[in-house]
Chain A
Amino acid sequence: MKYVLEKHSQGLVSILTLAYAILALSRPCLATSSEQKPNASQRCGNQTGVVEGTVVYRADKQRPWRYARYYVNKRDRGQLAESVVVIRVDSREPQLAEKRAPVIVDQRNFQFTPETIAIRVGDRVKFLNNDKGIHNVHSRHLRHTFNISIPSGGEHTERFMYAGGIRRPYRIGCVYHSAMRSWIFVFNHPHYQVTKANGHFSLDKIPPGEYMLEMVHPAGKLSWSQKIKVRPGRITSIDIVVSPDNRTEKRLRE
């Protein structure tokens, strides 16, 4: 009896394995057990979904991107850092974030660091100056202008109340050093992320529905968008692959 049960068990396992393999081949991105996220249920929840993936830059030798070295650290895969990925949510009602610690942008070695950030409407940004000389932060955004000089060792905090989304970031400069530049993207919802060195993004707790997934790399003048569906309890995986074909010469409106 035990032998029969074991034999049947083995057969059942073999059938299940074969079935799973067939399914995997037909849906190549079906998660295998090795890809299971331990906190997937927490991430998805009952009523929301997750959109995740990697932004990849595919270089073209005929059209080299001189500054790729700043944003593509691993050339074998082309993972693109400092790109802004967002689920477009068309809502006129701003969803102010709860008051939280300001995001820090430093001015060091004549460089805004980080160069690109994304925040919620109502968030604050604290600008520091850790260079030896004077710097300045200024914005000529249509809705919010400021022009503040910051001495060495000083700081200035600004609160951003206008959500321009992915199309209307704040372009921050220094009046004393025209090469310095920074972008601040302000959203009125939480479904955005700026990619780090591995190019990865993960947008959690998205209400189900059809959306536009958008990506912008302001320094590289790259843009991309794609319609996606978000289903409750599901992880939607999508790799964003861009190249010089995705380059736009239009400057993001301020």
Chain B
Amino acid sequence: MVESSKTRREAIKTATGGVAAALACLSIPDFVFPGQNQDEELVPFLDMPRTPPNRLDWETLDSWITPQDQVFSVQHYGTPDVDHAAFQLELAGRIDHPRTFSLDQLKSLPVKEQLMTLECSGNGASKGFMNAVYNGNWRGTPLAPILKECGLQADAREVVFFGFDNNVETLREGTDRELSVPVPFGRSMSLDDAMNLNLLLAYERNGKPLEKRNGAPLRLIVPGWYGIANIKWLKRIEVRDSRYMGRFMGRDYVTVRGHRNEGEVEFVETSVSRMNLKSIVARITTRSRNKDAVLKSYGAAWDDGTGISKVQIQVDGGEWQDAKLDEAPRAPFSWVFFSRELGALKPGKHRVVSRAIDVNGRIQPSAQEDEIALKKTYWEAYQQWPREIDVAG
């Protein structure tokens, strides 16, 4: 039988919880991020998934240099364990003086730092993959002087970069000519591109050694090129006299794009390489001003180093309005942040989208324009990305 004092509660408060709970009731927990004004409230995007760890969190974007816990990592052949103490970078092929470098030897070479926004070429292909981009300050030694010192032979045309990660690849699967071979992860570029002084053999990012998942101990950094070209766990650089056509040059990371030619659409396949002009609205906030709710958009724009001229914002299909580009910090291969007040939007659903324009007048296309609509593969997803919000009454 329940005691007559059944309505009495025997309350137990934790040693900290009792007082803390009371304080929690009285105080207002501070959930505002450094990049957000105190009087701003986030207006969440509709129908977007939650951001997981180790991906860029657009809605709390507060740092021009991306912290490590928001840096994505993609691998195709797993994450290799590389013995840093025994590490040797091999240079071979059509060079007069093949040689190897230990990590210490590379660190003793001239040092250069390179600011760069690195984006996965699949970033933006769907709302489930919108956060694979980050900005960082890479530290290493330039590649070009090393290649030059090795003595490039007259027939050197292409430079191939191989990683420690490897797998078995099967060609012509299911046919009489099926062929399975073990191969290292590899990507290549022309000798001209490889001799660009901006390319770096990087061993640090933001002042710290690379993490294993981001390519430690050594990574090729190619400013202005998509992430696939920035080889992780770099093991060997081979100078060749003929084109390299590994899986990630000729079969995957190949963009199939249609072009209209005299009324017909012709399709061309190209290997993913240089980044495209792109911008995105990172977050929208609201604050009260004279009893009205005023909205503001924030975002980022980036390209292959050509140069962003302006970013424009459109609300509900209206006129394109110029956004304000942050004057600093800026760097040729890094994103630029922008913002624009949207005014007092009526309660209800709204559509906000940004587009970037570069110094040559190139305009970031919408998903409906041929440049994107006739692209049949998901890589290089640089279309305008509309954001849907619901403004409270």
Contact = CB atoms under 8 A, between A and B. Distances in A.
- Chain B binds chain A: yes
A36 B7 contact: yes
Interface string B45-75: 0011111100101011000000000000000
B interface, over-half SS: loop
A69 B42 contact: yes
A109 B48 CA distance: 6
Contact of A41 (B6, B10, B14, B50): B6
Size band of the interface chain B makes with A: 35 or more
A201 interface: no
B127 interface: yes
A228 B10 CA distance: 11
B31 A64 contact: yes
A235 interface: yes
Contacts of A58: 20, 23-24, 29
A59 B9 contact: no
A interface, over-half SS: loop
B13 A29 contact: yes
B9 A77 contact: no
Contacts of B25: 77
Nearest to A230: B10
A30 B29 contact: no
Interface string A62-73: 001111111010
Nearest to A71: B50
A64 B31 CA distance: 7
Contacts of B52: 179, 181
Contacts of B13: 29, 238-239
A179 B11 contact: no
A177 to B, nearest CB: 4
Contacts of B126: 110, 133, 177
Contacts of B21: 56, 239, 241
Contacts, number: 136
A64 B57 CA distance: 13
Size band of the interface chain A makes with B: 35 or more
Given A69-B59, A110-B127, A238 B17 contact: yes
B30 A61 contact: yes
B131 interface: yes
Contacts of B12: 228-229, 236-238
Interface in B23-48: 23-25, 28-34, 42, 44, 47-48
B17 A239 contact: yes
Interface of A: 27-31, 33, 35-37, 40-41, 44-46, 56-61, 64-70, 72, 75-78, 109-111, 115, 133, 177, 179-181, 219, 226, 228-229, 231, 233-241
Instruction: Please name the 8 residue pairs, one residue from A and one from B, whose CB atoms are nearest each other, closest first.
Output: A29-B11, A110-B128, A59-B29, A111-B49, A233-B2, A239-B21, A61-B30, A110-B49
Given A133-B126, A226-B14, A229-B12, 19 more contacts: A31-B9, A35-B7, A40-B2, A56-B21, A58-B29, A59-B29, A59-B31, A72-B29, A77-B24, A78-B24, A109-B127, A110-B49, A110-B129, A177-B126, A179-B128, A231-B10, A236-B9, A239-B13, A239-B21
7 contacts: A35-B9, A40-B6, A41-B6, A56-B24, A110-B128, A234-B6, A241-B24
